Structure 1
């Protein structure tokens, strides 16, 4: 899908884009992104540190 904005919105969008780009490193320090582990890493962590997991969503969790 290709959205096209009028020329009126060009400069405000560029300004907002630069502001958000400048704030991104600060936001990541305050609220870091979650670490997503592979299935093998998850199972190893559960077994070695005796942790439990909570699963969200309808996807399958394959153990083979």
Structure 2
């Protein structure tokens, strides 16, 4: 459940960064587009494990609360 949510969030961020890149491409130079794309990919790779970690911690806490 939580893993699905984190994957969906990562996908959403990736799509938004892609949309942003395509919007910027009409106004800015090519180098700026590459930088924006790289930062978008970087965000996905950093946020995805982070979201998964937070979700795992939350689910463990929830399990502890339910058990006690």
* TM category, shorter: 0.3 to 0.5
Q: Which has the higher helix share?
A: 2
Which has the bigger relative contact order, CA under 8 A and spacing at least 6?
2
Larger Rg: 1
Q: Which TM-score applies when normalising by structure 2?
A: 0.34
